[in-house]
A = this chain, B = another copy of it.
Amino acid sequence: MRILVINPNTTTAMTDQIVAAACRVAAPDVEVVGTTVEMGPAAIESYIDESFAAVEVVRAIACEPRFDGYVIACTNDPGLYAARELVSAPVVGIGEASLLQATLLAPTFAVLTTLARAEQQVWQQLRAYGLAQRCVWVGATGVGVLETASSEASVADAMVTAGRIAVEQHHAEAIALGCAGMADVVRALRDALDVPVIDGVGAAVSLVDGLVRCSHRTSKVRTFAPPVEVHYRGVPRPFGGDDER
């Protein structure tokens, strides 16, 4: 089985981290391939950044339509529904993945995110996926995406501090990590908090793996049917000769 893990930002060092996290949990017969989008923001901190990234995720998948499954490795899940239109192979975002795994390990969870501006974006996801009732807190560390991914000790400290608030004040029984760059602090958080700590990259890889082993393909009957042909002005149509559609 071959899974393509797409980093929706243009920071290749972060792609390396993400692929490493993916490989750590992949089954022996799974080949993980990482890719970085070609254009756009170096980190996704705003809705504007996310808008640009979503288009690049679509382009990245359109260039590589033959994988068995796809992971979108940004917790905002940029381009997720568009990707499901584009290919039939399963596509999972790390945002939804971390939330789903959390529901299997604890009755309640908290989500740790980067900047305060992202907190409501997480709540929007929680409502869209129907999981808001399980989440007791969304808290920001105040540390931006790239700094979070830098794996400095101060980042782990900030996350442990936020994690303690989640567990002690809000009674969260698990922690979902709200950034692809947080995988390296999983161990520090688990040691400090003694609750499950869920990295979205690992969660998404394992969910895609499961969907593929169960021979599942994205539903194509209505919402995620192949797009109707529409003329694109000034840019190539993002979809074309894929004979699956």
Interface residues of A in 90-106 (CB under 8 A from B): 90, 92, 96, 100-101, 103-106
Q: Could you give, for residues 111-125 of chain A, a 1 whenever the CB lies within 8 Å of some chain B CB and a 0 otherwise?
A: 000011101110110
Max chain B C-beta neighbours (<10 A), residue from A39, A119, A235, A239: A235
Assembled-state Cα–Cα distance A81/B234 (Å): 24
Interface residues of A in 1-60 (CB under 8 A from B): 10, 25-29, 38-52, 54-55, 58
- Please list the 5 inter-chain residue pairs (A to B) with the smallest Cβ-Cβ separation, ordered nearest first: A206-B210, A39-B234, A46-B227, A106-B219, A47-B82
A66 within 8 A of B: no
In addition to A51-B79, A103-B129, 6 A-B residue pairs with Cβ atoms within 8 Å of each other are: A39-B232, A46-B227, A54-B54, A100-B100, A128-B128, A203-B214
Assembled-state Cα–Cα distance A203/B196 (Å): 21
Known pairs A107-B120, A127-B127; A55 contacts B51 (CB<8 A): yes
- Contact A211–B222 (Cβ < 8 Å): no
A173 within 8 A of B: yes
Interface residues of A, count at CB 8 A: 97
Assembled-state Cα–Cα distance A84/B58 (Å): 24
Assembled-state Cα–Cα distance A52/B230 (Å): 12
A198 within 8 A of B: yes
- Contact B25–A27 (Cβ < 8 Å): no
Chain B residues with CB under 8 Å of A84's CB are 47
Residues of chain A touching chain B, judged by Cβ–Cβ distance below 8 Å, are 10, 25-29, 38-52, 54-55, 58, 79, 81-82, 84-86, 90, 92, 96, 100-101, 103-108, 115-117, 119-121, 123-124, 127-134, 144, 167, 171, 173-174, 194-196, 198-199, 202-203, 205-207, 209-211, 213-214, 216-225, 227-228, 230-235, 238-239
Chain B residues with CB under 8 Å of A10's CB are 231-234
